[in-house]
Amino acid sequence: MSDEYDDDDFGRESVYSLAPEDILFQARCMFPFESTCDVELSLNEGDIVNVTRTDVGGGWWEGEHDGNHGLFPETYVQAVDGEGATADEAQQAGEAPAGDEDAAAQQQYDTSAQSSHRPTASAHSSVSAPPGAPFITVRVKSAGVFSAFLEWKTGKRQAEAESSESKFLSSIVRAEALPDNHEETTAQYHQFSQWFEKQLHSLEAEYDALLKVHKATTEGLEKVSKCFKCFGDPTLFAESERPAFKPWWEQDDPMMHLLNSLGIIGEGVKQLSILSSEQEDEDRSGILGFVKEYTSLLKAFHPVFKAHHSAWHEYQQMSAKDNVPAETLASIERNCETISAVVLAEARHFYENAGYDLCMAMREHMTAKAAFHRKAAELWEQLLSDFPQPQ
């Protein structure tokens, strides 16, 4: 994971008591912010926050709301005057902070196929984003998004490291230690992520094609249903235009009984078409939705790796020069190592959660498929039991 937390330090539920002199000013939350750990403060749009520190760094402020105290992104709030109105009315509530256009927090899934695996925003919560388009666009936007992400990470860790100056922080969140061969490790993971993205993209294309066939099958069942109903009793099926006829040589006509049964088969096939349509919707929102989501998320790593490569390339160029001061070179190297640590931590976070989510998505998909075929089989069994024997 990108951060490691001590549950003993963060496991408290006490309400924070704030003195009036501790409040610098108040700010209104313009976008919902979901905390990713206990040192962050969850906020909803419209909440009034008592700001206690603005010198945290990295784009973070510290404040209190409803007895809870923590860090939150400064771009998510606006200072308010004594009347409670925003100081800058030009910033509309529907606008996203600079650098996060068209981004969105991940919504909770409410379909049965998606509810079993964790939302991407929870699994990849390093970048908090305001509502708008799908969450993953916050990583796709540009390499600048990664820079902001890194700045937020650095700022948060700096604030946590300065816990002695804060009234509620008591633990230091440490970046994941770099392996000795971190450059080779990063390159290998980059290669793996490209391969994984390619496989998911192929799976997406094939499933999309399969669901088009599925849709055609559903439409075909609908047409077959109408054809069967045409055989049925005109008093029961509107589709039937069967002319009135009774054989003169027998009282109980097995043929008419058979034709009426075909009309009932048509009604059963109609139910199958409805079931097939529901299964198609389930697959589109379930397995296909999952694959598309993760394909897009992997594409969002492209600017991240590009930023990482550029940083180390700059360091190598500076290392080759004779007139670069040792302190400057050491500073550039530290910056590169910081970027590598964050990239590898995020890569590990993604890798671990992708395995879990893929497993859950496939299990849910197979469970839904098995349920679909069981229902279809039960329907055919019922129709068979009611169908007349040959005479």
Separation of alpha carbons 288 and 282, rounded Å: 9
Tokens of residue 187, six digits? 């390159």
Residue with structure tokens 């089989």?
A: 377
Separation of alpha carbons 369 and 376, rounded Å: 11
Is 190 inside a domain boundary? yes
Q: Which of 226-240, 319-333, 375-389 has the lowest mean pLDDT?
A: 319-333
CATH code at position 286? 1.20.1270.60
> What tens digit of pLDDT does each residue of 298-318 get?
887 888 888 888 888 888 888
Task: Confirm if 154 and 334 have CB atoms less than 8 A apart.
Answer: no
What pLDDT is attached to residue 157? 47
Is 8 inside a domain boundary? no
What pLDDT is attached to residue 277? 92
H/E stretch holding 130: none
Does the pLDDT at position 145 exceed 60?
no
Looking at the chain, the whole-number percentage of residues with pLDDT higher than 70 is 71
Separation of alpha carbons 72 and 156, rounded Å: 9
Which letter, b or e, does each residue of 84-103 get, where b requires 16 or more Cβ atoms within 10 Å of its Cβ?
A: eebeeeeeeeeebbebbbeb
When divided into structural domains, the chain yields a total of 1
How many CA atoms within 13 Å lie on the side-chain side of 251?
0
Q: Which of 20-29, 148-157, 326-335 has the lowest mean pLDDT?
A: 148-157
- What distance lies between CA 383 and its chain's CA centroid? 42
Tokens of residue 241, six digits? 């235009």
Tokens of residue 350, six digits? 């993604």
Higher pLDDT: 4 or 211? It is 211
Is 105 inside a domain boundary? no
Q: Which stretches of 95-201 are assigned E, i.e. beta strand? A: none
Q: Strand, coil or helix: what is 380?
A: helix
- Mean pLDDT along residues 155-165: 46
Would you call 21 exposed, middle or buried from its count of C-beta atoms within 10 A (0-12, 13-18, 19+)? Answer: exposed
Task: Confirm if 176 and 14 have CB atoms less than 8 A apart.
Answer: no
Is 22 inside a domain boundary? no
Is 113 inside a domain boundary? no
Mean pLDDT of the chain: 75
Is 205 inside a domain boundary? yes
Q: Which domain holds residue 377?
A: 182-386
What sign has the CA pseudo-torsion 270, 275, 276, 278?
Answer: positive
Is 155 inside a domain boundary? no
What pLDDT is attached to residue 60? 82
- Say if pTM beats, i.e. exceeds, 0.85: no
What pLDDT is attached to residue 57? 72
Is 53 inside a domain boundary? no
Tokens of residue 193, six digits? 């992520």
